[in-house]
Amino acid sequence: MLLQLENLTYIYCSPFSPVREALSGISLEVHPQEILAIVGATGSGKTTLIQHFNGLLQPTEGRVLVDFRDISGSQNNLGWVRKKVALVFQFPEIQLFEETVYDDIAFGPRNLGLPEKLVEDRVRRSLRLIGLGFERFSKLSPFQLSGGEKRRVAIAGVLAMEPQVLVLDEPTVGLDKKGACKVEEILKRYHRQGRTVIFVSHDMDLVARLASRVVVLEKGRIRFDGSKVELFRDKTILKDAGLVLPHVCRFMQNLRKQGLPVRTDVFTVEEAKEEIERVLGGGV
């Protein structure tokens, strides 16, 4: 499974606002089984970009290829693309509408025409992925759930379609710490199944913990494409793109400034703890 963008440009044309070039000359290749974060300042083109990944938006110029097939142009039947590349919008829980959690998650698989036994299998697997028990939650109304549980059920409805590429726009926005951690764990589990995960986020701590690769957009162009280690070392790009270092990185840099010879390329609390213990214990 391969997702490629070739010299993609997108221009917003509206009778109610000036013509605006939202994306300009974007070329990007997403590799199988990677976790890619797309970051940048508000208005840099992040959401517009990901809406091209499954044909929701069509480029003004350039091409989008999925499995080496060009999906650009309105003549394409894009149903097959959206089975492979699924897009989860911000606040997906507002789209919950069925009477039960089961029926909400089953909606997509039923529309695929799957036998009910396979539909149930997918609902069970999706609930397991999001960490909610089938027996307890399947018969509940989704509107009885907490905000974080609603978000997870909405994501489960997409996971039940079993896409190869899962694309999410600000997956943890609006959630408390517990809810955000649950969503993060869902993405890790899905990735461990051999799937590709792409997410847009302003949360640089999430990017640091989760992403294997980061793309920085600036005014509709790719400013950076590389590892998070390289990005967090580049103060110029961070400043220009309005990004901040993750909390753990800032903490480790402060320790180093105070004379403790710790590594600063650590991104989780657990890694920081191990590094501090190594230095204080006299390890190498």
CA distance 134 to 101: 9
pLDDT band at 14 (very low <50, low <70, confident <90, very high): confident
Mean pLDDT to the nearest integer, 45-54: 96
Token pair of 60 as six digits: 């003004």
Specify the CATH number for 3-95+164-243; select among 1.10.10.10, 3.40.50.300, 1.10.540.10, 3.40.720.10.
3.40.50.300
pLDDT of 4: 95
Confidence band, pLDDT 50/70/90 cuts, at residue 82:
confident
pLDDT per residue as tens digits for the range 152-161 = 999 999 999 9
Mean pLDDT over residues 20-44, rounded?
A: 95
Closest CA to 132 of 166, 161, 157: 157
Lowest mean pLDDT among 13-22, 83-92, 121-130, 262-271: 13-22
- Strand (E) or helix (H) holding 229: helix 228-233
Break the chain into its structural domains and give their ranges. Answer: 3-95+164-243, 246-284
In whole numbers, what is the pLDDT of the chain averaged over residues?
93
Q: What is the pLDDT of residues 194-243, one digit of tens each?
A: 999 999 999 999 999 999 999 999 999 999 999 999 999 999 999 999 99
Per-residue pLDDT at 284 exceeds 50: no
| 3 state SS of 211 | coil
> What's the pLDDT at 180?
93
3-state helix, strand, coil split of the chain in percent (to 5) is 40, 25, 35
Distance CA 127, CA 132 (A): 5
Quick one: pLDDT band at residue 17, thresholds 50, 70, 90? confident
CA pair distance 280, 257, nearest whole angstrom: 16
- Per-residue pLDDT tens digits for 103-143: 999 999 999 899 999 999 999 999 999 999 999 999 999 99
pLDDT at res. 282? 61
